[in-house]
Chain A
């Protein structure tokens, strides 16, 4: 079983704060990394798929970067809003495993 680690496990911030969290994965045989957002009482939804070293993706106030050589991806949220409160999951796909492995997620709570 591949080891995909996310940190921190949980995060509490005030509205307007910017925040970031990390997904670490094995650097060998990298194929793709996905970020998902999972809001309470809803299904997880895809945010980004990242495939190339140095990739940067952006959707509104949320952005992500990828470093495949050192095996990590950062997710940034600029000016957090209460509606950003969710669990953010990363999923790593390598060429040998044939399937994605999810991290345990980072749960973000944004207080008004």
Chain B
């Protein structure tokens, strides 16, 4: 089955630690995205990548980093510089970044204490 996988579903970390969230897709999509959702809010774009070895900051990139070394993988690192890292993180992919629909993974809920 084609789709997007994110792991783990739940992640707990201590404050001050970096943590990397995994996102893999086997849809052969060029574009991939990371979103953050906080209670009562919509999806806010952290980073996106239109093609391998290229990525751009979204609206809330501070305290996050990404890499896109392979077409199918787009890991997100939440660094200790991110002031409020506890949130629900969604990864998505699409054929391209313009009018194409996005396909979403199941999400990772990160709790930092």
B85 within 8 A of A: no
Residues on B with C-beta less than 8 A from A98 are 56, 97
CB distance from B53 to the nearest CB of A (A): 18
Residue-wise, chain A 47-89 has the 8 Å CB interface mask toward B (1 for contact) of: 0010100000000000000000000000000000000000001
Spot the interface stretch: B14-22, B39-47, B69-77: B39-47
Known contacts A102-B42, A103-B42, A105-B42; decide if A51 and B48 are in contact (CB<8 Å).
Answer: no
Inter-subunit contact B43/A102 (CB<8 Å):
yes
Residues on B with C-beta less than 8 A from A49 are 99-101
CB distance from B58 to the nearest CB of A (A): 7
B1 within 8 A of A: no
Residues on B with C-beta less than 8 A from A32 are 98-99
Inter-subunit contact A101/B104 (CB<8 Å):
no
Inter-subunit contact A89/B43 (CB<8 Å):
yes
Q: How large is the interface on B (under 10, 10 to 19, 20 to 34, 35 or more residues)?
A: 20 to 34
Inter-subunit contact B42/A89 (CB<8 Å):
yes
Total contacts A-B at CB 8 Å? 56
- In residues 3-19 of chain B, which contact A (Cβ within 8 Å)? 4
Known contacts A43-B104, A43-B105, A44-B104; decide if A31 and B98 are in contact (CB<8 Å).
Answer: yes
20 more contacts with CB within 8 A, not counting A31-B98, A99-B56, are A31-B99, A32-B98, A34-B102, A43-B4, A43-B103, A43-B104, A43-B106, A44-B43, A44-B90, A44-B104, A46-B101, A49-B99, A89-B43, A91-B102, A93-B98, A100-B45, A100-B102, A102-B44, A103-B42, A105-B42
Residues of A at under 8 Å CB distance from B?
1, 6, 31-32, 34, 36, 42-46, 49, 51, 89, 91, 93, 98-105
| A-B contact list, 22 entries, CB within 8 Å | A1-B59, A32-B98, A34-B102, A43-B4, A43-B90, A43-B105, A43-B106, A44-B104, A45-B104, A46-B102, A49-B99, A51-B99, A91-B102, A98-B97, A99-B48, A99-B56, A101-B45, A101-B59, A102-B35, A102-B43, A104-B40, A105-B42
